[in-house]
């Protein structure tokens, strides 16, 4: 992500979303994770063993067991001056979701 930081970029708001279709909706989008990256932070992302940051509602039960989930990394540039542009990363990755959900303990 280092190449995104030019003279007018103060920080980035990054977010990872999952897109999938169901019988009820042609397009469902769920934000799974986000992060604010400041100028000077390590520009390499490590998402290994990352857990979802947000609770999400699976409308129509189309996420569990879905074999065609598209993950998209997008970001908002927070400039030192000017407008707030929205940029979507190039490329995509389609991944299968598991047939069962993992439950976590609440403390």
26, part of any domain: yes
62, part of any domain: no
pLDDT for residue 87: 67
Contacts of 47 by beta carbon, 8 Å cutoff, 6+ apart: 16, 33
86, part of any domain: yes
Helix H or strand E segment including 33: strand 28-38
Name the DSSP class of 81. S
Q: How many domains is the chain partitioned into structurally?
A: 1
63, part of any domain: no
Q: What is the DSSP string of 9-67?
A: EEEEEEEEEEEE--SS-S-EEEEEEEEEEETTS------TTPPPSS----GGG-STT-S
pLDDT for residue 88: 66
Measure the CA–CA gap between 90 and 63, rounded to whole angstroms: 23
Residues of the domain holding 40: 2-44+69-95
Per-residue pLDDT of the chain (107 residues; tens, 9 = 90+): 778 888 888 888 888 888 888 888 888 888 888 889 998 888 787 777 777 677 766 666 677 777 778 888 888 888 888 887 766 666 556 667 777 766 666 65
pLDDT for residue 28: 83
81, part of any domain: yes
Tens-digit pLDDT profile for residues 39-50? 888 878 777 777
Beta bridge partner(s), residue 79: 9
């Amino acid at each position: 992500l280092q190449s995104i930081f030019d003279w007018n970029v103060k920080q980035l708001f990054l977010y990872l979303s999952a897109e999938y279709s169901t019988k009820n909706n042609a397009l469902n989008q769920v934000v799974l994770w986000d992060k604010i990256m400041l100028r000077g932070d390590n520009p390499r992302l490590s998402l290994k063993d990352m857990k979802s940051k947000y609770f999400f509602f699976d409308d129509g039960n189309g996420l569990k067991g879905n074999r065609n989930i598209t993950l998209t990394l997008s970001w908002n540039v927070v400039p030192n001056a000017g407008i707030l542009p929205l940029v979507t990363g190039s490329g995509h990755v389609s991944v299968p979701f598991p047939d069962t959900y993992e439950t976590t303990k609440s403390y």
